Amino acid sequence: MEKHNFRLGVILMILTTFVFASQDGISRHLASEYNVMMIVMIRYWFFALFVIALVSRHKGGLRKVIKTEQPVVQVLRGLILVTEICVMVWAFTLLGLIESHAIFTSYPLLIAALSAPILGEKVGWRRWAAIGIGFVGVLIILRPGFGVFSPAALVPLTSALLFAVYGLLTRYAARKDSSMTSFFWTGVVGAVAMTAVGIFYWEPMSSSDWVWMGILCITGALGHYLLIRTYEVAEASSVQPFAYMQLVFASVIGLTVFQETVEARVIIGAAIVILAGLFTLWRERQKT
């Protein structure tokens, strides 16, 4: 499919961020009642089934898509992503949706900073300046040195770092493998890894929470499907800035559903991080 429908791509990306933000809200609710490992494990079971079903319909079928010249990279990607999800859901229970997402928005800056050592890409002084300014925004959110800094604030930052490494390894894997191959390995490796760990944390779940668990699984699959459709109709670099809408939707859910509060430092810091991230995305697109 030719990638030329920018307007549809933007609509799909905004819809994707809304679905993912809703998923985060449900994850926050369930993880406050049950072990994070169990929640992520069940979510990955459904995700793996969705991936296998989607891949089976792909040209060449499952046998063709599963083949990879770089299994170590693909397994590592899957393990890093599932770890990142566990860390981020844990962050929701510690800091809430708003502050966790405000810190997590630094991941494009981390991708830009790590692209040089991991992929050997050249990062110019303008992007380095934007990365530096962006992390000033992160520091404003974290507010170290004022007697109120909590180590818990490092949890979503760790999640952002893991997601950045996952993104760079995905870019590296794309040199030899198709996106559908990477998608398959992401889902299956994550499901196997989480089952090996999460099964030991199984605990009974109420019938009402099983309903929320089912909605969580559906939103996870729907979000990934919408993201795939987004990149089918529009260039990733052109619609990526709209991914920041997830912070907006997550903040609304945090304020209205969980009665979270948002401080001025979080708004100011997040604004700086987002502007710096948008600049790095723009510079990368210009270089491309």
pLDDT digits (tens, 9 = 90+) for 150-194: 788 899 999 999 999 999 999 899 989 988 899 999 999 999 999
At 99, the pLDDT band (50, 70, 90 cuts) reads very high
Considering only residues 116 and 185, tell me which one the structure prediction assigns the higher pLDDT: 185
Supply the pTM of this predicted model. Answer: 0.90
Look at the alpha carbons of 30, 104, 237, 17 in this order and tell me if their dihedral is positive or negative.
positive
Query: How high is the pLDDT of residue 40?
Result: 97
**How many other CB atoms are there within 10 angstroms of residue 125's CB atom?**
7
Q: What is the 3-state secondary structure (H, E, C) of the chain?
A: CCCCCHHHHHHHHHHHHHHHHHHHHHHHHHHCCCCHHHHHHHHHHHHHHHHHHHHHCCCCHHHHHHCCCCHHHHHHHHHHHHHHHHHHHHHHHHHCHHHHHHHHCCHHHHHHHHHHHHHCCCCCHHHHHHHHHHHHHHHHHHCCCCCCCCHHHHHHHHHHHHHHHHHHHHHHHCCCCCHHHHHHHHHHHHHHHHHHHHHHHCCCCCHHHHHHHHHHHHHHHHHHHHHHHHHHHCCHHHHHHHHHHHHHHHHHHHHHCCCCCCCHHHHHHHHHHHHHHHHHHHHHHHHC
Average pLDDT rounded to a whole number, residues 72-81: 96
**% of the chain surpassing 70 pLDDT:** 96
Neighbours of 253 (CB within 10 A): 21
Per-residue pLDDT at 147 = 46
Q: In this predicted model, which residue has the larger pLDDT, 33 or 6?
A: 33
Which residue matches tokens 């319909």? Answer: 57
Of 141, 113, 140, 142, residue with least CA distance to 127: 113
Cα–Cα distance, 112 to 121 (Å, whole number): 9
Mean pLDDT for the chain overall = 90
pLDDT digits (tens, 9 = 90+) for 187-241: 999 999 999 999 999 999 999 999 999 999 999 999 989 998 888 888 877 788 8
Q: Where are the domains of the chain?
A: 6-122+150-261
Most confident by average pLDDT, 14-23, 115-124, 126-135: 14-23
Report in angstroms the alpha-carbon separations of 62 from 46, 54, 127, 163. Answer: 17, 9, 40, 27
Of 144 and 217, the one with more pLDDT: 217
- Work out the end-to-end distance of the chain between its first and last CA atoms, rounded to an integer number of angstroms: 21
Judge whether residue 127 has pLDDT over 50: yes
Place of tokens 């985060």: 24
- Alpha carbon distances (Å) from 260 to 12, 94, 156: 28, 12, 17
- The whole-number pLDDT of residue 63 equals 84
- Report which of residues 80 and 128 the model is more confident about: 80
In degrees and rounded to multiples of 5, residue 176 shows phi and psi of -125, -30
Average pLDDT over residues 77-97: 96
CA pair distance 188, 191, nearest whole angstrom: 5
Q: Is the pLDDT of residue 59 over 90?
A: no
Q: What is the pLDDT of residue 1?
A: 47
